[in-house]
Structures are given as structure tokens and as C-alpha cells.
Amino acid sequence: MNVDLIKKKITKKTKAIVPVHFTGYMTDMRKLMKISKKYNIPIIEDACQSILGSINKKKAGTWGITGAFSLHPLKNINVWSDGGIITTNNKNIFNKIKLLRNHGLKDRDHVHLLGYNSRLDTFQSVVGNWLLPSAKNIANQRIKNAKYYDKNLSKIDEIKIPIRPKNFKIVYHLYIVFAKKRDQLLKYCLKKGIEAKVHYPVPMYLQKALKHLKHKKGDFPVTDRHCKEIITFPCDQHLQKKQIDYIIKTVKEFYKKR
């Protein structure tokens, strides 16, 4: 989220700002918190892809009024099913969400507010608890992989590495770079056995589900450009160096051939 563009979008109706800490790279919360304070608008951090990410050592999920995390099997900390977590320092919100997730039940027989069914299975909590001690190692290994990619891919003219600002700890749930001839590169990688992906090819504002908001193609030019150029390479903690080398080699090969 380009935080510098937020102010002109704020109206009397604005109730919250939801920055997405996409890929493990946090929105600039230093700037955003100033806006939140000035306009008295709470921040909900979508930190689904950014567990253990931080800015100036202050972690994702601790800046806003609440932080939302996902434990989906593809996340850095992953359980064996859908799952999620919220974090907050606000006791009222904490108590309310505790009630909301379990039908508003204060105890078995007393319903204090009408809630939902959104409980993390015991089973999945066991899996999560087992994984948590490895969380730092998982993040560090991904960071190591990403740095290695950065160093090597930056030598290729057709690849642009996103900005890696100082003091940001990027935990690389996704390793994304901008690539010329992205679609062809993607095809080439897939053909070579590399499971590259695009997160995500169609921006939210152009989805059919948002038709009623009447956005036009081109309303968000940077978003559009990214959609055309982004490519995601495997970056998980189980990758071996030789696999990363193979990916780098394959990308080089692709551009040499053209």
C-alpha cells in the first residue's frame, strides 16, 4: 500500500484501514500509524503472509488495533487445514473475539452475544504449537534463500528486484520479482519443472465481484503494472541450494535464448 496516497481517500465514512503486509513485506507502518492517529481511524493489519516480519524490530500484528494471521497450509507457520489467529493489545477486543468465535458462549449455557463458529481445532493447535519453536528458523531460512536469489537475479537485466528497505525484516512468505516477458518466463519455468506462480494475476479491483464499485482498468496503474510483471519463485525453508541455483540458471537461460 502506497501510504502517501491514503489521505485523499479518507472520508467521514472511513471506519478502518487494512494494510496488507503482502508476501512478508510490511506496509510502512511508521507513516501509517501517524495517519491513523491524526484521523482517529483504527488499523487492522492483514498480516496473513507476514508472521515474524517487522519494521525497526517491531513485529507485524503489533502496530494496529488488531493483527490478522493465517495458518493455511501454504503459510510460513502452517497447520493441516484452514486456521487463523488474531493479535491485539486491546482487552475489550480480545474478550469480544473470544466470545464471538464460540457462539458468544460465556459458558456452556449462557449466550452473551450472538457469535459465530470459528474455533481452531485442538488438533491444529497441537500442530501449530509444535511448529512455533521453529518459526524463527523458518523465517531465517527463507530470508537466506531470498538474499541468495536477490544477489544472483539482480545480475539479469530483464529482472527487477523489489525495494528491500533498511530496517524492514521481510519474511518472504512469497519471493516475488518483476520480470520482462513474464508470461513466457512463467511457461518456460513450468516446462523446466519449476513451480513458479503469479500472486495474483487479476487485481481485486478488476474482479467481477467488485463490479458494482465501477472501477475502470487503469485506475491503479502501479497495481496493473505489477500484475503484468510479477512472478513468484519457490522460497520455502526446504529448498536446497542446488535447486535455487537451477532456478537462477533457468531464468538466465530463458533470457539468453530470446
Partner 1 sequence: MKIPYVNLKKQWSLERKKILNLIDKVALNNLWVGGEEVSKFEKNISRICNTKYAVALNSGTDALTFALYCLGVKKGDEVITTSNSFVASTSTIVHLGAVPIFVDVLENQLINHNKIESKITKKTKAIMVVHLGGRVAEMDHINKLSKKYNIPVIEDAAQSIGSKYKNKPTGSLGKIGCFSAHPLKNLNALGDSGYITTDDKNIYLAIKKLSNHGHKNRDTIEKFGYVSRMDTIQACVLNFRLKNLKSTIRKRRKNANLYRKFINQKNVLIPRDDPKVFNTYHTFVVQAENRDKLKKYLDKRKIFTSIHYPIPIHLQPAAKKLNIKFNDLKETELQSKKIITLPVNQFLSEKEIKYISKTINFFYE
Which parts of this chain interact with partner 1 (CB under 8 A)?
72-73, 79-82, 103-105, 109-117, 119, 121-124, 200-202, 204, 207-209
Complex with partner 1: residue 42 or 84, whichever CB lies closer: 84
Q: How far is the CB of 70 from partner 1 (least distance, A)?
A: 9
Whole-number minimum distance, CB 248 to partner 1, in Å?
Answer: 25
For cell 467481477, name the residue. 208
Q: Which is nearer to partner 1, 103 or 180 (CB)?
A: 103
Beta strands in the chain (DSSP E): 44-46, 54-55, 58-59, 66-70, 84-88, 105-107, 110-111, 159-160, 168-169, 175-179, 230-233
Closest approach, Cβ 146 to partner 1, in A, equals 23
For residues 177 and 32, the answer to whether their CB atoms sit within 8 Å is no
Q: Which is nearer to partner 1, 35 or 194 (CB)?
A: 194
For partner 1, the closer of residues 101 and 252 by Cβ is: 101
Could you tell me the three cell numbers for 48? 496473513
**∠ CA 96-97-98, rounded to 5°:** 90
Quick one: 124 exposed, middle or buried, by C-beta within 10 A (0-12, 13-18, 19+)? middle
End-to-end CA distance of the chain: give it in Å, rounded.
34
**Closest approach of partner 1 to the CB of residue 163, in Å:** 26
Q: How far is the CB of 4 from partner 1 (least distance, A)?
A: 28
As measured in angstroms, the least distance from the Cβ of 229 to partner 1 is 16
> Which residue, 4 or 121, has its beta carbon nearer to partner 1?
121
The separation between CA 116 and the C-alpha centre of its own chain, rounded to angstroms, equals 25
Which of 51/55 has CB closer to partner 1?
51
The span from the CA of 159 to the CA of 179, in Å, is: 5
